[in-house]
Amino acid sequence: MIGSILLVIFVASISLAGYYLRLLTKSGSIAAFFVGVSVSLGFGLQGLLLLGFFFASSSFWSKFKSKKKESIEDRHEKGSTRDWQQVVANGGLAALFSLLYAIHPSDVFLLGFLISLASANADTWASELGSLSKKPPLFIRTLKPIETGTSGAVSLLGTAAALAGSFTLVLLACLLMSLSLSIGFIVFIFGFLGNIVDSFLGAYSQVIYRCLECGKDVEGWEHCGQRTSRIRGISFMNNDAVNFLSALIAVIIGVTYYQFLLL
């Protein structure tokens, strides 16, 4: 009982620190608290450390060389300070599988938890580090160079960052949870797959608008102080929806593969 109370206090402290350090908005801090409590119920301190590593490393890379990313962030719907939607998009599945694991401990729910975090970590590292590539990325739909920061764009640096993001989270999970090599490999592969799915969803379904004032293609419905015009994509498929759905797809495929191995 005392241990549970201490974990809740720990989660609350981290959530507040995220708000005061301007890593989270007020709504993001509240969402992070509930995600953290959910994870602690299922996987205790080990799960919280994995979740904390994801948010800490993501925040670090978001701030890394931020001056060079200003022009890119101008095209994005949201900045590096995460609101509740961004927190849920990246940590909501981890929270869900943690609660399911608390109710019924199962390797399936453990896999869901780990793959969702590995996918989120791979995607965030790819986005933040890939944007620093000296060469323009390629757009998946055309395989032609496109402006850095475009949804659905890929680069060698971004791909390497995605591999590193998934691998690093798996390595930490192996140290904290004593995962078998086979489970760790599955998490690594399907965590990276989540980033690939994210790129395809970003290219083919994410909503993109055009600013009628400056002519830029942006992710938000407002730019330069006025409404933008939608040019492609599904209206409700913003970046948060793409992040959530790509992780979910990676989890479903990864768990299905694991179940197939058990047959």
User: What six digits make up the tokens of 158?
Assistant: 């971004």
Which residues, 6 or more positions from 74, have their beta carbon under 8 angstroms from its beta carbon? Answer: 216, 218
Model pLDDT, residue 77? 61
- Summarised one tens digit per residue, pLDDT across range 80-106 is 678 899 999 999 999 999 999 999 999
Q: Write the pLDDT tens digit of every residue in 113-141.
A: 999 999 999 999 999 998 888 888 999 98
94, 113 Cβ separation under 8 angstroms: yes
CA distances from 94 to 9, 97, 100 (A): 20, 5, 10
* Residue 260 pLDDT exceeds 80: yes
Summarised one tens digit per residue, pLDDT across range 1-12 is 666 778 888 889
Q: What percent of the chain has pLDDT over 90?
A: 57
Q: pLDDT: is 183 or 225 the higher one?
A: 183
Strand partners, 222: 227
Residue 263 confidence (pLDDT): 62
Please give the share of the chain, as a percent, with pLDDT higher than 70: 93
DSSP string of the chain?
-HHHHHHHHHHHHHHHHHHHTTSB-HHHHHHHHHHHHHHHHHHHHHHHHHHHHHHHHHHHHHHTTGGGGHHHHTTSSS-SSB-HHHHHHHHHHHHHHHHHHHHS--HHHHHHHHHHHHHHHHHHHHHHHHTT-SSPPEETTTTEE--TT-TTEE-HHHHHHHHHHHHHHHHHHHHHH---HHHHHHHHHHHHHHHHHHHHHHHHTS-EEE-TTT--EESSSEETTEE-EEEES-TT--HHHHHHHHHHHHHHHHHHHHHHHH-
Q: Is the pLDDT of residue 239 over 70?
A: yes
pLDDT band at 74 (very low <50, low <70, confident <90, very high): low
For residue 98, the model assigns a pLDDT of 97
Residue 75 above 90 pLDDT?
Answer: no
pLDDT of residue 1: 62
Question: Which sequence spans correspond to the domains of the chain?
Answer: 46-262
Average pLDDT, the chain: 89
pLDDT > 70? residue 73:
no
Residue 187 has pLDDT above 80, yes or no: yes
Distance CA 150, CA 30 (A): 30
pLDDT given at position 70:
63
